[in-house]
Amino acid sequence: MNTNDVMGPFGAPVPEREVAATLKAEELSLFDSTAVAVSSVAPAYSLASTIQAVIAVAGVGLVAPSVLIASFVPVMFVALSYFHLNRRNPNCGASYSWLAQVVNPYFGWINGWVQVGASVLFCTTAPLLAGGYTLQFLHSAFNAVPESALNSTVWTAWIAAGWLAFVTWICIVGIRWTTNAQWVMVLIEYTVVIVFSIGGIIKVLLRHPAHSLSFSPGWLDPFHIHGLSALAPGLALGVFFFWGWDTALNLNEESKEASRIPGRAGLISMWLLLFVFLLNIVAVEMLLGPAAINAQGTGVLFYFGQQFAGPWASYVMIFAVLSSTVATTQTTVLPAARITLSMARDGVFPKVFAKVSPRFQTPVIGTLLVSGFSMAGIFLTTVSSSANSVFNNLVLNIGVLVAFYYGVTGLACAWAFRRTWGTSLRSTMAMIVAPLIGGLVLLYVCYDVIKAGGKTALPDVIVLVSSVPFVILTWWVTKGKTTFFKQPLVAYDTID
């Protein structure tokens, strides 16, 4: 008997070649998981694509840093939910699996669908941004592409497809390759953003450039945000800023101490991200002022680098944002492939998504399919101007989908641990009260932004509404083939 054989039913050995391949367990340390979490959020990308929109939200103005603080609180409460739910069920489906287990299997399936839908939509928009940055970098730094190519949707789409194919390949060849790539990209983007931000603040303090502003503590005060009409859309954008830390939880089956390390990585990354975001937004506001920020749009970080240290700095910032965009694309493909793997293992998603490569120990086919859907979206933007407009607006509204699945996970945690109420003040606050507050706030943000969004919220509405017929179809097709929709619900009556 081969020592690598496992015992099957009735004690008969099962040859190693017949054992289903699994994800590579015990691979990621706390540092690895934290690197993946912070890289998934990709501060340089988030800042470049969204900072102008946050500052432009009606009534927000120079209190944009306070919007980030206000957004941080409910998302941190949800991060606590992920931490505690993962302690009980370290499943790579994460919130999909948890909701199915503690709330309702149908609702769990819907939550998984929303997450995968958000990931596919994002992996369409982010590579397009990377394509645009690549063209801009090659033109500005080396004059390697003509100026006419900068606004070409075809050029942008082909380069975007190339980047998506590249990160998909890295995701396929192994979790260690993926993590090492994330370490490199994290170091690039964080070094540039932090050094430039500190340098910009020092320049304002020492030289007082034209149009620069002195820092005001009021910028950090959420009570200076003018009403719910400004707070709700601001929070949706803020949620988008922090989206991605939960990737560490989707890699729990590949982590050391699967029930503890991924959750800790998510919490640590949230505090690191808050620091970096606040530092950069304060620096940008101090050095540029609101008028210049609004005029620059998504190019504000490049302009900030130029104003800080000259043209060379804008090239460095372009490279940092490009690196960040590629990193966040990669770490959005990762969780989507793991969620679909978990759903397929449960028998409620096509079986092909459950196949794990024996060689690479990754869900190769699922990864290729997720990327394939995003690739189709990329090329759709080149043939349809309306599709291009939809995807351009998506980055401002995808926070709605994130707020939805974060919000319901917060409520699920409070419900799962309801029997521990009063066991101790700390556990009651961390497992029930904080998750409940975070969940309710984020679901309100989801509702309010969709209500006010009109056509720009259409992709979000499609993803949310489409989940209903698809979960019904899944139930019908899988009747008698899986017990997923009949599984007994669980509730935790101890805090350990």
Are the C-beta atoms of residues 321 and 45 closer than 8 Å to each other? yes
Which of 74-78, 151-155, 386-390 ranks highest by mean pLDDT? 74-78
pLDDT tier, 225 (very low <50, low <70, confident <90, very high otherwise): confident
Mention every residue, 6+ apart, whose C-beta is less than 8 A from residue 461: 450
Which two structure tokens, joined as six digits, stand for 391? 């995807």
- Is residue 395 scored above 60 in pLDDT? no
- Specify the range with the lowest mean pLDDT, choosing from 149-163, 219-233, 349-363: 219-233
Instruction: Please give the residue that has the higher pLDDT: either 237 or 209.
Output: 209
Classify 21 as helix, strand or coil: coil
pLDDT tens-digit series, residues 126-138: 898 889 889 988 8
pLDDT tier, 59 (very low <50, low <70, confident <90, very high otherwise): low
Classify the phi-psi angles of 485: left when phi > 0, otherwise alpha if psi is within -120 to 50, otherwise beta: alpha
Mention every residue, 6+ apart, whose C-beta is less than 8 A from residue 486: 105
Residue 228's pLDDT is what?
58
pTM of the model: 0.90
CATH architecture of 24-486: Up-down Bundle (1.20)
- Specify the range with the lowest mean pLDDT, choosing from 82-86, 115-119, 186-190, 391-395: 391-395
Are the C-beta atoms of residues 129 and 378 closer than 8 Å to each other? no
Instruction: Please give the residue that has the higher pLDDT: either 267 or 394.
Output: 267
- Specify the range with the lowest mean pLDDT, choosing from 361-365, 384-388, 412-416, 434-438: 384-388
- Specify the range with the lowest mean pLDDT, choosing from 106-115, 228-237, 265-274: 228-237
- Specify the range with the lowest mean pLDDT, choosing from 3-7, 27-31, 256-260: 3-7
Helix axes 364-383, 311-345, angle to 10 degrees: 130
DSSP secondary structure, 54-68, as one string = HHHSTTTGGGHHHHH
Mean pLDDT of 131-157: 86
In a 13 Å sphere around the CA of 91, the CA atoms on its Cβ side amount to 21
pLDDT tier, 355 (very low <50, low <70, confident <90, very high otherwise): very high
CA atoms 97, 332, 197, 35: torsion sign: positive
- Is residue 6 scored above 80 in pLDDT? no
**By C-alpha distance, which of 258, 79, 247 is closest to 179?**
247
- Is residue 399 scored above 90 in pLDDT? no
Residue 16's pLDDT is what?
46
pLDDT tens-digit series, residues 444-467: 988 887 887 666 777 788 889 999
pLDDT tier, 490 (very low <50, low <70, confident <90, very high otherwise): very high
Are the C-beta atoms of residues 88 and 339 closer than 8 Å to each other? no
Q: Where are the alpha helices (DSSP H) in 243-260?
A: 247-250
DSSP secondary structure, 110-157, as one string = HHHHHHHHHHHHHHHHHHHHHHHHHHHHHHHHH--S-GGGGG-HHHHH
Average pLDDT over the chain reads: 87
- The CA R_g of the chain, rounded to the nearest whole Å, is 23
Which two structure tokens, joined as six digits, stand for 364? 């190769």
- Specify the range with the lowest mean pLDDT, choosing from 23-32, 39-48, 71-80, 112-121: 39-48
13: part of which helix (H) or strand (E)?
strand 13-14
Are the C-beta atoms of residues 196 and 175 closer than 8 Å to each other? no
Classify 208 as helix, strand or coil: coil
Instruction: Please give the residue that has the higher pLDDT: either 425 or 129.
Output: 425
Could you write out the three-class secondary structure of 373-441?
HHHHHHHHHHHCHHHHHHHHHHCCCHHHHHHHHHHHHHHHHHHHCHHHCCCCHHHHHHHHHHHHHHHHH
Query: What span, in angstroms and rounded, lies between the C-alpha atoms of 32 and 339?
Result: 20
- Specify the range with the lowest mean pLDDT, choosing from 168-182, 220-234, 258-272: 220-234
Mean pLDDT of 344-361: 95
Residue 106's pLDDT is what?
97
- Specify the range with the lowest mean pLDDT, choosing from 133-142, 174-183, 436-445: 133-142
Q: What share of the chain is helix, strand, coil (3-state, %, to 5)?
A: 80, 0, 20
pLDDT tens-digit series, residues 12-36: 444 444 456 899 999 999 999 999 9
Query: What span, in angstroms and rounded, lies between the C-alpha atoms of 389 and 385?
Result: 6
In the chain, where the domains are located = 24-486
What percentage of residues in the chain have a pLDDT greater than 70?
Answer: 90
- Specify the range with the lowest mean pLDDT, choosing from 55-59, 277-281, 325-329, 345-349: 55-59
Residue 206's pLDDT is what?
95
Are the C-beta atoms of residues 326 and 221 closer than 8 Å to each other? no
Mean pLDDT of 425-445: 95
pLDDT tier, 164 (very low <50, low <70, confident <90, very high otherwise): very high
- Specify the range with the lowest mean pLDDT, choosing from 117-121, 367-371, 394-398: 394-398
- Is residue 301 scored above 90 in pLDDT? no
**By C-alpha distance, which of 315, 266, 380, 302 is closest to 45?**
302
Residue type, 184: V
- Specify the range with the lowest mean pLDDT, choosing from 226-235, 258-267, 408-417, 422-431: 226-235
- Specify the range with the lowest mean pLDDT, choosing from 150-159, 449-458, 466-475: 449-458
Residue type, 332: T
Matching residue, tokens 């900068």:
150
7: part of which helix (H) or strand (E)?
strand 6-7
